A and B are shown apart, each in its own frame.
Chain A
Amino acid sequence: MSARPVLRAASGGVTRHRAQTFVIFMVLLVSTASATLGLALLAAADGPFDHAFAAQRGADAAVAVSSAHLTTAQLAATSRVSGVTAAAGPFSATTATLSSQGVTLPSSAVVGRSSPGGRLDELTLVTGHWAQKPDQIVLSEGMGFFPGLGTKMTVPTAPGTPVLTVVGIANSITNTADAWVLPGEISALRPAGAPVRAEMLYRFASAGTAAQIRGDVAAVAAALPAGAVGGFTSWLNARQQATGNSTILAPFVEAFALIGLFMSVLIVANVVSGAVVASYRRIGVLKSIGFSPAQVVVAYVARVGAPALAGCLVGLAAGNLLAIPVLHKSAASFGVGQQQVPLWVNVLAPVVMCALVALTAFVPALRAGRLSAVQAIALGHAPRQGRGYAAHRIASRFRLPRPVSIGLAAPFARPARTAGTLAAIMFGVTAVIFAVGLDSTLSRAEEGQRLATTAPVQVGLASDNAWQPGSRPGRAITAALRSRPGTLRYVAVAQTELGAGGGLALKVNAQAFDGNAGWLGYGLISGHWYRGTGQAVVNTAYLDQTGLAVGDTTTVSTGTRSVTARIVGEVFVPGNQPALMTSVQTLGGTSANLALDQYDVGLKPGVSIDSYVGQLNSALGANYWVSGPGQGQFYLIADSLIAMLTLMMAVVAGLGVLNTVLLATRERVHDLGVFKAVGMTPRQTIAMVLCWMVAPAVVAAVIAIPVGMALHTAIANAMARAAYTGLPASFLAVYRPAGIVLLALSGLVIAAAGAFLPASWAARSKTATALRAE
């Protein structure tokens, strides 16, 4: 086969049909960019943690052993247990209560390590240095308690209440400890009578599931005397905590990736096969001058392949560029440095798109190649006789301007192409309806979680001290709040950790409000906000992990006493950490020695948050902190993603419409000439061509409304499940009838935007030239 005429035929088509070449280029650009972005985001769900886990040689399990009667050799021998691939330790360990600046931290796991490095669990020093003296301590970043370096911490549970100086903050990828000291210091921190314990770290050959890790730890336990292994922590828990946000986003990203993929396939197929079908006449001419079927196939695959390949490559670059800010935010939230688009994504996305193009071009090109020259010319001339005639006859009966009725009937001449375009618009409108709904749901979830509207200002003591109800710091704050005219209401809150009752060793994050807190507006999934002493609301994780339900009674331990409360509501607090909200009185009032942490402050309508915060700061002075609402990192990422992906879907759908209308105007160029010759004005021509897409857009919108709403409900619920929570019904009831109509109009907007360019070209085309066109 001679290549030269084939390439010349292909390149001739590319340069002669610039608009169509441009559409193919743009469709592949946007499709590849969206595929690259979608895949990169999916990869990012696991990437940062896995990267850090590998870099820090994370341990699959940290096993607590009672080491009093074990030798180091016995423990070292566990590294040879079947399934263990690496081991580190033993590290002496104990449980201690740490206290500083009046704050007593929950019971903490303190491990003795002489350095942050090691075969496993290499610790990353975030700030300061490693302990060099017996009275120095390094805190884990995972504790969430960041006193300044040099802060003194006492250990009231240890004999003699030793005092330690904080010299560093370090990070363990799998949270193997809450704090570290030199190994020799552990015995001084161990409470009187507490067992001697050590920590062993392991990597296993199989550690992908909780069951595998349980089996691995059981094998280790079997190699030691009975009862030596006291418990263990798994890397899967740490991974779950670290990837929580990405896990929540995953259903949404997957849904968008799926919509994007469907749309890309549909539109690429429509565009590419349409381009080949539109060239049937030219194919017929080429065959009549001696092109073989194979040469025709090669020429036309090459013709659409050239702009498609260029589009793929530019789209790949665009996808990488678009991914940068999103991945940057994601990496910042994980604290794992930089994230990049993985290599496999950069290979897979363009390869799949190019393969799709080759396939969709190959089939019609092969068909054209097998046709006789005369058949190809005849097929390429116009839509099949008779198609759409009835639609024209019916449309002519409506009392509509004639260009409108002719335009409305036109899509019926090419039913398959119209169906493809209709599907593309439908996917586009579905994406818009789904995205707008999800954005509203996330906004409500953010508001329900962060209270940015009801309580936009928080006030507390700058030294991170808490205070007793009725004490001087509280009086100073309330005096300042009362003197501000913008203050609407406020409530003090004590944040504390409780143990859940029922024999379960559950740690519960509790918020006890000193006053009416119903106005804060936490989202309620079921039941109602607590209305008096003895009532509490809890989150979904609390109910799931205790097996209780709304209406049941729960018992919690404050450390000094047990409190029983009736669960009257399920509150929206995402996360797998059980949470409980109640009044200070329910937890025992002043006798419970609860310390208040902050005031949540609501403002009167129209009050500027910034100026209120500034004035309150000035009034209270340097000993207090006052903060306004920021935007949560998760919601920031989600908002960016939703906006970006929705825009891309709408652009792809618009390009699909543009392609269809472009092909139709090319096919009907002669008819357009006739219309203009008998007096159709440019404006009427534009109206007629725009109306070609009205009927498909309306049908697409009618289908897309229920699909988009159902998708929204399913994905929002999936995201909630990933965040270990249910959703209040009000978070899902985001669509109002008027809003739905407006959203459905997005189909018409997409159709009009896509059709406008070819409509303008049609209106500007020279009538005499159009009449000469075959």
Chain B
Amino acid sequence: MDALIQLSDVSKQYDKDGAFAVEDVSLQVAPGESVAVMGPSGSGKSTLLNLIAGLDRPTAGTVTVAGQRIDSLSETSLAKYRRQRVGMIFQFFNLLDDLTVADNVLLPAQLAGLSRAAARRRAGELLDRLKISQHRQAYPARLSGGERQRVAIARALVNSPELLLADEPTGALDSVTGEEIGELLLELNQAGQSMIMVTHNADLAVRYASRTIQIVDGRLVGDEVSSGAGTGWQS
């Protein structure tokens, strides 16, 4: 089976003479896999995720997602890549405060030019599935942390992306809510959603990812299959 994500000798340096945030990383992720990226603060986990999301460009190496080289795409093509192929969720949700829950979820579909009816139908399904449809007209500031993260997940999934990228998805949540979000991500993966999740939380990685990679000082130092419930295969 072809890899969904293929990183080859990827390095990222923010300053020309500075240290490498990511150095010589090569990595393959298969479709349907759930990968946890772990490492200490400043190790390069989020940088790696940003490179895969097309939010940043590598200094060296190539990043290929679903057969498409994204490191050489134009900004416009990268935007289209992000809206069609990737969904992202963040530690602090990154919802737009002045848009309602429904409008936040609809936004990527509207940017992609999906018809109004189709977008609303898809958003409705997701809000129902994530059990937040009662808040569709509420503003994010009035929701709990867990509810906000569910809205963020709905937004990430509205265009049915091949890949879900999660940057510390439970980092800003209490333990109970974090468990709920973990279970939700596990459900999504079990339904076939490919996923890469950056986390500090070893327990979360073990329980909800099928594979864990370790990064220290920008280098890949470990890659092992988790004993948790993740469904993906390993290379």
Contacts and interface: CB of A to CB of B under 8 A. Distances in A.
Given A674-B94, A766-B56, 17 more contacts: A396-B99, A396-B100, A402-B110, A406-B99, A413-B98, A670-B94, A677-B82, A677-B94, A678-B88, A679-B80, A679-B83, A679-B84, A680-B79, A681-B75, A683-B76, A767-B55, A768-B56
A735 B73 CA distance: 51
Interface string B105-143: 011101110001000000000000000000000010100
B88 A677 contact: yes
A137 to B, nearest CB: 84
B107 A678 contact: yes
Category for how many chain B residues contact A:
20 to 34
B139 A389 contact: yes
Interface string A395-428: 0100101110010010001000000000000000
Interface of B: 50, 53, 55-56, 75-76, 79-80, 82-84, 88, 90, 94-100, 103, 106-108, 110-112, 116, 139, 141, 155, 159
A496 B56 CA distance: 85
Most chain B C-beta atoms within 10 Å of own C-beta, residue among A673, A674, A682: A674
Interface string A743-774: 00000000000000000000110111001000
B166 to A, nearest CB: 13
A679 B119 CA distance: 15
A681 B76 contact: yes
Given A399-B116, A402-B111, A403-B111, A678 B83 contact: yes
16 contacts: A385-B97, A385-B141, A396-B103, A409-B98, A673-B94, A674-B94, A676-B82, A677-B53, A677-B55, A679-B79, A679-B83, A681-B80, A682-B76, A684-B111, A768-B56, A771-B94
A367 interface: no
Given A678-B83, A683-B76, A771 B90 contact: yes
A392 B99 contact: yes
A34 B95 CA distance: 45
B80 A678 contact: no
A388 interface: yes
A8 interface: no
A722 B75 CA distance: 61
B228 to A, nearest CB: 28
Interface in A668-694: 670-671, 673-684
Contacts of A671: 96
A409 to B, nearest CB: 8
Contact of B79 (A393, A406, A413, A681): A681
Nearest to B165: A677
A409 B98 CA distance: 10
A676 B94 CA distance: 12
A766 to B, nearest CB: 7
A396 B123 CA distance: 15
Contact of A768 (B50, B80, B99, B116): B50
B190 to A, nearest CB: 25
Contacts of B90: 771
Contacts of B82: 676-679
A671 B116 CA distance: 23
Contacts of A406: 99
- Secondary structure at chain B's binding surface: helix, strand, loop or mixed? helix
Contacts of A413: 98
A160 B79 CA distance: 102
Interface of A: 382, 385, 388-389, 392-393, 396, 399, 401-403, 406, 409, 413, 670-671, 673-684, 763-764, 766-768, 771
Contacts of A681: 75-76, 79-80, 111
A679 B116 CA distance: 17
A767 B54 CA distance: 9
Contacts of A676: 79, 82
Contacts of B112: 679
Contacts of A766: 55-56
Contacts of A680: 79, 111
Nearest to A389: B98
A676 B96 CA distance: 12
A349 B70 CA distance: 56
Contacts of A393: 100, 103
Contacts of A399: 116
Contacts of A764: 75
B98 A388 contact: yes
Nearest to B56: A768
Contact of B55 (A385, A401, A683, A771): A771
A678 B55 contact: no
A329 to B, nearest CB: 51
Contacts of B155: 678
B98 A392 contact: yes
Contact of B96 (A403, A674, A768): A674
B79 A768 contact: no
Contact of A682 (B75, B95, B98, B100): B75
Most chain A C-beta atoms within 10 Å of own C-beta, residue among B55, B88, B141: B55
Contacts of B141: 385
Contact of A402 (B50, B84, B107): B107
A676 B81 CA distance: 11
Contacts of B84: 679
A385 to B, nearest CB: 6
Contacts of A674: 94-96
B195 to A, nearest CB: 17
A399 B112 CA distance: 15
Contacts of A679: 79-80, 82-84, 108, 111-112, 159
Contacts of A675: 96, 107
Nearest to A771: B94
A399 to B, nearest CB: 7
Nearest to A403: B111
B164 to A, nearest CB: 13
Contacts of A768: 50, 55-56
Contacts of A682: 75-76, 79
Contacts of A683: 76
Nearest to A410: B98
A382 to B, nearest CB: 8
A772 to B, nearest CB: 9
Most chain B C-beta atoms within 10 Å of own C-beta, residue among A403, A673, A768: A768
Contacts of B76: 681-683
Nearest to A390: B98
A677 B104 CA distance: 13
B108 A678 contact: yes
Closest 5 CB pairs of A and B: A679-B83, A402-B110, A681-B79, A768-B55, A678-B108
Nearest to B97: A385
Most chain A C-beta atoms within 10 Å of own C-beta, residue among B107, B112, B141, B155: B107
A681 B54 CA distance: 12
A670 B103 CA distance: 18
Nearest to A388: B98
A594 B107 CA distance: 86
A226 to B, nearest CB: 89
Contacts of A402: 106-107, 110-111
Most chain A C-beta atoms within 10 Å of own C-beta, residue among B88, B90, B106, B110: B110
A90 B108 CA distance: 95
B20 to A, nearest CB: 16
A763 B155 CA distance: 22
A393 B108 CA distance: 17
A678 B156 CA distance: 8
Contacts of B110: 401-402
Contacts of B111: 402-403, 678-681, 684
Nearest to B54: A767
A234 to B, nearest CB: 70
Nearest to B111: A679
A389 B99 CA distance: 7
Contacts of A673: 94
A406 B75 CA distance: 21
Nearest to B49: A768
A764 B76 CA distance: 11
Contacts of B75: 681-682, 763-764
